Every structure is written in C-alpha cells, then in structure tokens.
C-alpha cells in the first residue's frame, strides 16, 4: 500500500510549491459546466496559501495537440500533411491550420479556470506561458501566500512525452512538488511524474491522499464481506481489475454489456447482445478461478432486452437463458436488481465501477439506478470508481451517501488493478 507524505508532513512556508491539479473541466459556450474538479482542488490550494507557500498551480485542459509551446506553430505531423498537398493549396491550408491553433489557444487557455478560482476567493494571477519568460518572472516575484496559475501544460508537446528537459524547466521554478491530480496520476507525464526527478521534496495533496487511503485500505485490509460490482461495455477493459479483485473479494457482481461475454462463454444464447468473441476463454477462466477461490461470482438472472441499439426500441424482460435471436441485452432485469441489492445488503466494503446497462438512456437506466440506491443504503464503506459510475451516483443524487467517489476513472481502475501509478510512485515515502 502506498504510504506517501502529504502536504501536512512538510514545511511549506516561504517555499515555492509547484502544485499539479486536475483543472480539466468541461467547458461549453465559454462557460465551465461542472466545476467539481476545481472545487476538489480547493482544500490543498487553501492549505498551501494559509501556510505561507508561494503557490504555482499547473494543470492541463483538453488535448491541444496542434499548439506547440504556447505559440502558433504547427506540429510536424500537420506540416507533413500540408506538404503532401498540391503546391497551390499549401498556403491556404497553412493559414487554416494556424487559425485553428489560435482558436485552440483561446478555447483551451486556463484563463477560464483562473477566473473561476478568483470567484472562489483565490487571488490568482495567470501566466501567459508554462515555462516561458512570463511564467518564470511571475513565479520568481511571488510573495508568501500568493498564487500563480501556469498556462495549459499540454500547450507543450513535451508534457505528454515526459520530456526530461521540459520537466527540469518546470521544476526549476519551484522548491517543492505537490501532486493533487489523481485523474492523471496513471500517466507518466512531465508535470505528473517527471518533475519529481528534479525536486527532492515531492508529496501528495489532500485529494490524492484520500484516494490512496480509501482505495488502499479496501485492497489491503477491507471490512468484509467485500463486494465488487463491475459493469460497462467490455470485459477487456476490466480484466485487470477482475483478476486483482478475485484475490481479495468475497463476491464479484457482473452487470452491463460485459455480462453477455460470460453468458456466451457458458453456452447461453445472447441474440445480438454486445460480446467480445475473442474473450470467451478468458471469461471461462475467470469464472473457474472464482469457483476455485470460493468467490461468489454473480451474473444477471434476467435482462431488459431490445430489438435495436436505440433509446426507444421495443423492449421486454427475459431470463438470461432465453434471450431470443435478434434481441440484445441493454440492462439488467428486475429480478437481478433484487438479487444484486440483496447481495449488497450487509456488505462491509463495496467497490463499484461501470453501469449495469446503457444508463445514458432512461429506458435502460433502471439497473444502474437500483445498484446506486442499494449501495447507498447498504451501510458499507462504498467506493465508486470514476467515469460513468461516478456520473451516475451524482446525477441520481447518491454521491454524498457514498464514502468515496473517485476523481479519476482510468486512474482508479489502474489502482484497483494493483498497478503502480507513476504520479503517486514518484512521491516521497513517509519515514
């Protein structure tokens, strides 16, 4: 289990602290549509400010791949594409590509985040670049308790390449590195991991600390019975998690599209349901291992099936051994809702990742909703993996009834797989 130092374990007063946050917020028509990630970062930011650090915030937003070094330069790939055009078209294509890059700089600038932080009471200045002269001058001029936000770190292609020279430049502005961006902790990028090679003091913020504590405890020393409930479209996305949890859980519940790969492997008819035909042996192997280990492995007993993959398709409920030709499973059925709720009742720890059906369509959201309700009412320590399940508990109003809603979809999956996350591994161990 990770045993990492946090901001509270070090002295930050008077120090320049580079704090990697996850400000990758959704923006529509020039407005932030969900500020959860910024709200989530506030505790660490406030702690650093209140304790007299000179705070340098850093984050990515979106994927501004055609903007290099926060300037209007075209990537090699784009240049090559333009070079392949007939000569008389190149000038116009270059102008169009540059215009698009300009749009991306405006659209993906962290100015919108700076404005939101200001509205939340943080007196922050935005740098016009990331490691350029403006950022460096503003970082050097910071006084204790002041806050600077660097521009979108992905304006540099070097960020995602974990380029050592870029990481070193970032680190040169600070004395201490704080990582609080759990959502990108599974990526070895310059600002999420590489930078720690150049700063002796590297610790986590409150967000990452809570993720490690709650999920680490569940994996190492869970309150039992320990139940995992996994859904979503594909078995292949969850193999690692199922493998790891087979060693640790008392019950594994499978719902969502991936259940049909297991049914197919059992020789049941699945109609036109989603199925990974190349994963049938794997599904058989997982079920055999569950049996060998005495893990209760539950699949849906009935399903809500439709004629087409369409929100308003004609639908009905049917037992899992009787899905007719030409029909597809799109949600778990009512009897399965009851069965899963019963299995969750009395659990000590529950981990949930992935919807029980095509929950973005109201007609097929019932299974996901009932699982969210059953977890909320179970009294168990409840951990909701990021992504679709986190969105589901929020929309359904159960988020504050859960012990922990993870702030990272991909990162929480990798954590539950037992993989080492580079953005956490690079931090100082507690003595």
* Contact call for residue 408 and ligand AMP (CB under 6 A): no
Q: Is 306 in the site for ligand AMP (CB under 6 A)?
A: no
In the residue annotation, 234 being an active-site residue is answered as yes
Q: Does 274 bind ligand AMP (CB under 6 A)?
A: yes
388 binds ligand AMP (CB under 6 A): yes
Is the bond leading into 225 cis (omega within 30 degrees of zero)? Answer: yes
Nearer to ligand AMP, 232 or 422 (CB): 232
Shortest Å distance, C-beta 330 to ligand AMP: 5
Closest CA to 355 of 337, 367, 341: 367
Q: Are 404 and 398 in contact (CB under 8 A)?
A: no
Q: Does 329 sit near ligand AMP (CB under 6 A)?
A: yes
Nearer to ligand AMP, 300 or 422 (CB): 300
Catalytic (active site) residue 257: no
From 17, 358, 390, 391, residue interacting with ligand AMP (rule: CB under 6 A): 358
Distance of closest approach, residue 155 Cβ to ligand AMP, in angstroms: 28
Helix/strand/coil (H, E, C) string of the chain? CCCECEHHHCCCCCCEEEEECCCCCCEECCEECCCHHHHHHHHHHHHHHHCCCEEEEECCCCCCCCCECCECCCCHHHHHHHHCCCHHHHHHHHHHHHHHHHHHHHHCCCHHHHHHHHHCCCCEEECCCCCCHHHHHHHHCCCCCCEEECCCHHHCHHHHCCCHHHHHHHHHCCCEEEECCHHHCCCCCCCCCHHHHHCCEEEECHHHHHHHHHHHHHHHCCCCCEEEEECCCCCCCCHHHHHHHHCCCCEEEECCCCHHHHHHHCCCCCCCCCCCHHHHHHHHHHHHHHHHHCCEEECCCEEEEECCCCCCCCEEEEECCCCCCCCEEEEECHHHHHHHHHHHCCCCEEEEECCCCCCCCHHHCHHHHHHHHHHHHHCCEEEECCHHHHHHHHHCCCHHHCCEECCCHHHHHHHHCCCCCHHHHCCCECC
Among all residues, whose Cβ is closest to ligand AMP? 232
Mask of contacts with ligand AMP, 224-243, x by CB under 6 A? Answer: --------xxx--x------
Q: Smaller CB distance to ligand AMP: residue 271 or 355?
A: 355
One residue of 40, 64, 222, 256 binding ligand AMP per CB under 6 A: 256
Q: Is 245 in the site for ligand AMP (CB under 6 A)?
A: no
Stretch touching ligand AMP by CB under 6 A, among 57-65, 161-169, 352-360, 397-405: 352-360
- Closest to ligand AMP by CB, 94 vs 363, is 363
Listed ranges 194-202, 239-247, 312-320, 356-364: which one lies at the site for ligand AMP (CB under 6 A): 356-364
Among 234, 289, 335, 401, the active-site one is 234
Indicate which single residue of 40, 64, 306, 354 sits in contact with ligand AMP (rule: CB under 6 A): 354
386 sits near ligand AMP (criterion: CB under 6 A):
no
Measured from the CB atom, is 114 or 235 closer to ligand AMP? 235
Please state the length of the chain. 431
- Work out whether 257 is an interface residue with ligand AMP (CB under 6 A): yes
Set 62, 216, 240, 410: catalytic member: 410
Catalytic (active site) residue 37: yes
Smallest separation (angstroms) from ligand AMP to the CB of 303: 8
Task: Name the residues that contact ligand AMP, by CB under 6 A.
Answer: 232-234, 237, 256-257, 274, 329-330, 354-355, 357-358, 360, 387-388
Catalytic site residues?
A: 37, 234, 387, 410
């Amino acid at each position: 289990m990770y045993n990492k130092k946090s901001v509270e374990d070090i002295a930050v007063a008077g120090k320049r602290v580079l704090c990697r946050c996850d400000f990758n917020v959704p923006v529509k028509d020039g407005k932030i549509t969900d500020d959860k990630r910024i709200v989530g970062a506030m505790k660490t930011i406030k702690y650093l400010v209140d304790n007299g650090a000179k705070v340098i915030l850093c984050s990515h937003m979106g994927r501004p791949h055609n903007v290099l070094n926060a300037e209007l330069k075209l990537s090699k790939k784009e240049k090559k594409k333009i070079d392949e055009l007939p000569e008389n078209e190149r000038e116009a294509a270059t102008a169009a590509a540059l215009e698009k890059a300009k749009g991306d700089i405006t659209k993906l600038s962290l100015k919108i985040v700076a404005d939101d932080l200001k509205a939340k009471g943080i007196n922050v200045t935005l740098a016009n670049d990331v490691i350029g002269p403006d950022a460096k001058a503003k970082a050097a001029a910071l006084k204790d308790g002041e806050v600077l936000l660097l521009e979108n770190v992905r304006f540099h292609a070097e960020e995602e390449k974990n380029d050592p020279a870029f990481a070193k430049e970032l680190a040169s502005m600070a004395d201490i590195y704080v990582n609080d961006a759990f959502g990108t902790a599974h990526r070895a990028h310059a600002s999420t991991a590489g930078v720690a090679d150049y700063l002796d003091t590297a610790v986590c913020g409150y967000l990452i600390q809570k993720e490690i504590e709650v999920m680490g405890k569940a994996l190492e020393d869970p309150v039992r019975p320990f139940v995992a409930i996994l859904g979503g479209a594909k078995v292949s996305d969850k193999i690692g998690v199922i493998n790891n949890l087979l060693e640790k859980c008392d019950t594994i519940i499978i719902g969502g599209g991936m259940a049909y790969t297991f049914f197919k492997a059992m020789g049941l008819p699945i109609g036109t349901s989603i199925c990974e035909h190349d994963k049938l042996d794997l599904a058989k192997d997982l079920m055999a291992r569950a049996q060998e280990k005495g893990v209760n492995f539950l699949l849906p007993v009935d399903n809500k099936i439709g004629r087409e993959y369409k929100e308003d398709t004609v639908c009905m409920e049917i037992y899992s051994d009787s899905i007719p030709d030409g029909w597809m499973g799109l949600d778990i059925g009512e009897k399965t809702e009851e069965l899963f709720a019963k299995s969750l009742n009395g659990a000590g720890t529950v981990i949930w990742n992935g919807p029980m059906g095509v929950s973005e369509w109201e007609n097929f959201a019932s299974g996901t909703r009932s699982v969210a309700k059953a977890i909320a009412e179970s009294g168990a320590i409840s951990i909701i993996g990021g992504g679709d399940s986190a969105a589901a508990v929020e929309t359904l109003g159960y988020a504050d009834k859960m012990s922990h809603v993870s702030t990272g979809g991909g990162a929480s999956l990798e954590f539950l797989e037992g993989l080492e996350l580079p953005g956490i591994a690079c931090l100082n161990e507690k003595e």
